[in-house]
Structure 1
């Protein structure tokens, strides 16, 4: 476990919330933009990026390889440089950094040692290591298929066709595709295995590559990126829609209103699915020029949903389900056992610890609402567990959230945002 901060007493809502909550930028878009800007032919600006632990780790990793990433606050200026080692890279517990950085490191000249938090060493990395070797890179991992490992770069990677099993994470495909234009023959990734989760994240990777001038062709379980220059461009970052889940959910729990400004009318972000999911639970959902507004009717239904494409929304949806008026079944999410923590086991343990009735399914959760009581909600160094606890705390007095600071992974200042939302009710 990381150094823990004191418990945070999750505030109870004493009436309907009525708030507008501006959100920081998308982690997924920010870290993809950082990679593409580092591989580009000229300097570029990333506007309104997320500044959080995950994105600062990505910026730090790219700096270690010789890329200039500047700007103390606000926008990031990225100046591509010759990628080189020797270097040491810390990926923390960031899936995007541990899966996107090794293919970039393979393009460097010299040894790049890659490691992260203790839990990062347990997260699956074999598909990336195996794929990089098949594409002509040298990786020394002592046969573990996990962190830590060393990429021995020669300044170029042949590339070509590679088959991976990306059923554990779409990041295995995205990581290979983002660096692929700089591989000598480009890269064709073929997936073999159970369906790839989080398809919206793959669509985001493909769109951003095309926005950077890359030639990308896609088919069923196959992605081909041709070799070529990566064009420098300004990268405007959308608000992080997945981080809207707990704020919009507060409207449901309290029978109130929450608006998230700047919600894009069209997006590849998985968080956009919240519109339909919260609507299915009984929320009134409206997208307009002011942003996305969710109103809670006062009392709301449980949810039967396959969350395979949007697994990151599971912790908050599970918390909402525990407070709903009818049972829920959340399926298609077996891959969450390999996330920051085993999210399915964690949700069962912690919600049931507050008096809930949550049962693990082979690929998801079955949740029967019951009256809940206070207690300590453990967060397992997982930012989304903090957000789930906050939602439960709206309706349950005495929820004490362990290590709220871990939320800095994707949403620094979350507790302040949460408190100010409640204060405006």
Structure 2
């Protein structure tokens, strides 16, 4: 039975090493970028392997409200034929619901700015706390008009985009230290501005550089010219978007909980169709998990651009999983909650650094991870941009909050594999990116060999 939103969920517990092959759904980050470019294209295109989840449904609904059409092919929800928006013909008053999806709330205003409509972008109550200022500031610098009641400048939802056709564009300077999505949001629409966009990031560094590289890659595939003449600067040439038929890669970030299950139980999990080369930050699991003592192997499939990635944990002479402390791991972005769950179960210290931007995600993830560790009977150190775990904790069962955050929910599920009696509130929030997670996770703990995540 699928848990209802808000329902408490008894996390599956196992004393047996897991052993499974897990088929992952499509990447949320890639799906929503491809949806944007398909909607801005000059001609129709087909997307296959599309993620079906709350975040991607919200993106489809938002782009549909602006005039794009999406048709499921042969009743397969993962295959979409997309007819683009005619920006000039998009008029009237439109309201877009972004839910709690960062890609929707941050990517859609730039699309709306090129229409002739008045577009209200709203979302869940929790979305009002998520930072929007830098991307809105960038769009306003480029000539868009965006307002919000009681906000000057505009920094949060809800907001209103007053579209008046293609804006001038040109040089914009922002600090994207809070999220790489601020840069990606501008990159994705840069070609639709009359003079393109010359984007300069003024901060010391940008979190999740893989996500910016991902955005540039999909833009290049769609015929949009993007140059990086110097660090922290991106120049998008104005012109047409020519989206191509595309197969979406599986979501490697969402592979994390399943691969972590192998580490914390001393078992083995294989993920097929892992790309040989990718811009996804989830590819870092190949280097992160060995630091906890796991073995990672990759077996290419001849004649393709993918292979099978297998993560194997280890057991000591008494059959107990061996999980070493990982030392310092830096700038893991969305991989942090899963990594934190392994660190809670490790024998030695782990230090997660340069993760301050996670305070502006679905929840303040640093506060959340600290609070849930305390419930489990562990003391961790929380700094402005780091978390430190001493390791060797004797954890106790607890009711863990999800904070309407899918990655906090999967954090609790990982803990529950090892700490009997763990309960996770609102596991249904995993539908944001993994609608089948509760069923798939139960199958994993029940020694099912073939799992569809």
Name the TM-score, length of structure 2 as normaliser. 0.91
Aligned residue number for residue 81 of structure 1:
85
Q: 1:263 aligns with which of 249, 257, 274?
A: 274
Rounded to whole Å, the distance in 1 between the matches of 2:157 and 2:328 is: 34
Structure 1 residue 292 corresponds to structure 2 residue 309: yes
Rounded to whole Å, the distance in 1 between the matches of 2:5 and 2:433 is: 17
Rounded to whole Å, the distance in 2 between the matches of 1:56 and 1:402 is: 23
Aligned residue number for residue 224 of structure 1:
235
- Worse overlay, 57-66 or 281-290: 281-290
Aligned residue number for residue 96 of structure 1:
103
Rounded to whole Å, the distance in 1 between the matches of 2:124 and 2:105 is: 11
- Render the CA deviation track for 1:286-334: whole Å, top value 9, x for unaligned: 01135100000120111223432x3101111111001011111111101
Structure 1 residue 278 corresponds to structure 2 residue 289: yes
Structure 1 residue 240 corresponds to structure 2 residue 257: no
Once the two structures are TM-superposed, the CA of residue 14 in structure 1 deviates from its matched residue by: 2.2
Structure 1 residue 335 corresponds to structure 2 residue 357: yes
Rounded to whole Å, the distance in 2 between the matches of 1:102 and 1:172 is: 11
Aligned residue number for residue 333 of structure 2:
311
Name the TM-score, length of structure 1 as normaliser. 0.97
Once the two structures are TM-superposed, the CA of residue 356 in structure 1 deviates from its matched residue by: 1.5
Rounded to whole Å, the distance in 2 between the matches of 1:307 and 1:9 is: 32
Aligned residue number for residue 212 of structure 1:
222
Structure 1 residue 186 corresponds to structure 2 residue 196: yes
Structure 1 residue 322 corresponds to structure 2 residue 380: no
Q: 1:168 aligns with which of 152, 161, 178?
A: 178
CA RMSD of aligned residues (A): 1.2
Q: Does the CA contact (< 8 Å) of 1:20 and 1:421 recur in 2?
A: no
Rounded to whole Å, the distance in 2 between the matches of 1:341 and 1:112 is: 26
Aligned length: 422
Q: Does the CA contact (< 8 Å) of 1:356 and 1:368 recur in 2?
A: no
Once the two structures are TM-superposed, the CA of residue 69 in structure 1 deviates from its matched residue by: 1.6
Aligned residue number for residue 451 of structure 2:
none
Structure 1 residue 390 corresponds to structure 2 residue 400: no
Rounded to whole Å, the distance in 2 between the matches of 1:172 and 1:393 is: 35
Once the two structures are TM-superposed, the CA of residue 422 in structure 1 deviates from its matched residue by: 2.0
Q: Does the CA contact (< 8 Å) of 1:189 and 1:224 recur in 2?
A: yes
Gaps of 5+ in 1: none
Gaps of 5+ in 2: 302-306, 316-321, 449-453
Rounded to whole Å, the distance in 1 between the matches of 2:9 and 2:15 is: 18
Rounded to whole Å, the distance in 2 between the matches of 1:138 and 1:333 is: 32
Rounded to whole Å, the distance in 2 between the matches of 1:24 and 1:287 is: 19
Rounded to whole Å, the distance in 1 between the matches of 2:445 and 2:402 is: 22
- Render the CA deviation track for 1:357-407: whole Å, top value 9, x for unaligned: 222022110112311111100010000011111110111011000000111
Rounded to whole Å, the distance in 2 between the matches of 1:348 and 1:94 is: 23
Q: 1:407 aligns with which of 415, 430, 447?
A: 430
Rounded to whole Å, the distance in 1 between the matches of 2:447 and 2:329 is: 34
Q: Does the CA contact (< 8 Å) of 2:329 and 2:350 recur in 1?
A: no
Rounded to whole Å, the distance in 1 between the matches of 2:329 and 2:119 is: 39
Rounded to whole Å, the distance in 2 between the matches of 1:108 and 1:303 is: 49
Q: 1:150 aligns with which of 146, 156, 160?
A: 160
Q: 2:390 aligns with which of 359, 368, 371?
A: 368
Rounded to whole Å, the distance in 2 between the matches of 1:226 and 1:15 is: 55
Aligned residue number for residue 119 of structure 1:
126
Once the two structures are TM-superposed, the CA of residue 30 in structure 1 deviates from its matched residue by: 0.2
Q: Does the CA contact (< 8 Å) of 1:161 and 1:188 recur in 2?
A: yes
The 5-angstrom pairing of residues 40-55 of structure 1 reads 40-55=41-56
Structure 1 residue 128 corresponds to structure 2 residue 120: no
Rounded to whole Å, the distance in 2 between the matches of 1:295 and 1:18 is: 9
Task: Give the 3-state SS of the residue equivalent to 2:99 in structure 1.
Answer: coil
Task: Give the 3-state SS of the residue equivalent to 1:127 in structure 2.
Answer: helix
